[in-house]
Structure 1
Amino acid sequence: MNEIQIRSASMKDLDAILTIQALCYTEVEPESAQSMGAKLAAAPDSCFVAEYQGRVVAYLLSLPWLLHQLLTLNSPECQLPQQPDCFYLHDLAVAPVGRKLGAGRALIQAFFTALTQAGLDVACLVAVQGSGDYWQRWGFVVQQPDAELQHKLNSYGEGVEYRVWSRESVF
């Protein structure tokens, strides 16, 4: 088993997810187990982990959501909207051991597959820790937030960017 394996994330992966989160996020305080667990429980069909040699080395949490709306970072609850119009890619983190193995790319491909299976054509995310160029390569374009969205973005730290991807690229 020398390849990355992608599978749906579950609550049994929460400890590994929290460990990876703590390794990767140095400019933002990591989210609580309650917050991360709420997202996992709310959207099991759009949250994934990457395993290498039987160990979780990366994760991606995404939620069916509403464009231009966000959860505040570290929100203790996660209630999905009744009629989502996009997927919100909340978090992608790859442990140092998972880098250079293609874990991030494989997780993003799983994300886009789930987006398509959900019948959605739009995705959004918050680029943190200077990751904007990375997300630009995947087609996520910076969007200017309104005042309400900016207020929620402030919880994600300094220098963050709200980015949107569309199958039609019409923004």
Structure 2
Amino acid sequence: MLEVTIRGVRPEDLDRVAEIEAVCFPPAEAASRESFKERIAAFPESFLVAEANGILIGFINGCVTNSSIIYDELFHSTQHHIPDGKNQTIFGLDVIPEYRKQGIAAQLMNHFIQLAKNTGRRNVILTCKDRLVHYYESFGYVNNGISKSTHGGSQWFDMTLIL
């Protein structure tokens, strides 16, 4: 079994995080290196990475908001981050392909959920594609239907986990 360490992001992780995002998401949906630089600076406490054998292999991140849904502007500007907000968002749960199907995404998600609980959040919210609704439901998320988000020109579903 692969030994994985989940830890908080560090500024020096920036380039690797951007590389992983580019592998995991189509160009229209992937966050830019500049966006990750801003996220790491604005909400490092809501940004976890997975490391195996000293190599970053995945991450999970998102700002905090009082909104009950993710709206597109959240992806594009850290100015919408509300440190004492009630809802923890998830912008992305990324694991590079060669490390998938080993429970790493689940470890990241479970750590992130616990972090949200420990910091007094009421909900964790995310958007996902239809094919991933069932996966997130396995963590207790409820499908709230088609999202108003059109991020990257895709159709998304709003998901909520009540803590």
1:19-168 equivalence runs, <5 A = 19-26=19-26, 28-66=28-66, 67-72=68-73, 74-75=75-76, 77-79=77-79, 80-81=81-82, 83-128=84-129, 130-144=131-145, 150=148, 153-167=149-163
The secondary structure found in structure 2 opposite 1:56 is strand
CA distances 1:106-125 after superposition (whole Å, capped 9, x unpaired): 11111011101111121100
* Structure-2 separation of matches of 1:82 and 1:45: 10
| Greater mean deviation of Cα atoms: 95-104 or 58-67 | 95-104
The secondary structure found in structure 2 opposite 1:84 is coil
- The alpha-carbon distance between structure 1 residues 53 and 129, as it changes in their structure 2 partners (threshold 3 A), is farther
CA distances 1:82-113 after superposition (whole Å, capped 9, x unpaired): 64111001111000232233211111111011
CA contact (8 A) 2:86 2:120 kept: no
Mark the runs of 5 or more structure 2 residues left unpaired by the alignment. Answer: none
The secondary structure found in structure 2 opposite 1:19 is helix
- The alpha-carbon distance between structure 1 residues 82 and 118, as it changes in their structure 2 partners (threshold 3 A), is closer
- Residue matched to 1:12: 12
Stretches of 4+ aligned residues off by more than 6 angstroms: none
Please report the TM-score for the alignment, with normalisation by the length of structure 1: 0.83
Mark the runs of 5 or more structure 1 residues left unpaired by the alignment. Answer: none
* Structure-1 separation of matches of 2:102 and 2:111: 15
- The alpha-carbon distance between structure 1 residues 20 and 69, as it changes in their structure 2 partners (threshold 3 A), is closer
Shift of 1:74: 4.9
CA distances 1:133-165 after superposition (whole Å, capped 9, x unpaired): 2111112112247xxx72xx0124322111111
Q: State, as a whole percentage, how many aligned pairs show the same letter.
A: 22
CA distances 1:6-59 after superposition (whole Å, capped 9, x unpaired): 100122111111111111113744221111222222111121100011100000
In the alignment of these two chains, the number of paired residues is 161
